[in-house]
Structure 1
Amino acid sequence: MNPEPSDPVERADKRREAIGEGEVKEKPDGTIEQRGHGSMDPTLVPKGKDHPEQGPYTPENDHIDPDVDPTASSDHPRSKPDSKA
């Protein structure tokens, strides 16, 4: 029988060694890459943005729905009036 170390950090290190590489790999630039595993289709592994240089998504023509825009003019109705019963 092989006694386990009493230190929880040492036990965790031994478990980590037993697991091996794992499902994710951290690249030198800090990005995380998920490895395919089991019956997982490699095409289903999430990828980064196609064009990261474009920055975050912005709607075309800066169109914002006036129903959800907090800066919309006060004469624009926020909701439909109740129908008369």
Structure 2
Amino acid sequence: MATHKSAEKRDRQSKKRRERNIADKSTIKTKVKSVLNAVESKNKEASIQALKDVIPALDKAAVKGVIHRKNASRKISRLTKKINAFQS
């Protein structure tokens, strides 16, 4: 347990950030699943629209430090690759 006032504040801040990061990660996972489901159902328009929704979310999470920027880049690349593979 923190004894200094500043340490207590840091503890509160880290808990707030942790909750926010967990929520952001959950949102990203949901959006990625929607892309994968659209690809599995072979729905071209839905998969492209879902990808357009997930790319900004991944980029924003990377900028905010929720996920690593290379992790975001890798996810975007793999999702795009899957969509391009089933379109051709």
Q: TM-score, normalised by structure 2?
A: 0.23
Q: Which has the higher contact order (CA 8 A, sep 6+)?
A: 2
Greater Rg by CA: 1
- Could you say which structure has the higher helix fraction? 2
Q: TM-score, normalised by structure 1?
A: 0.23
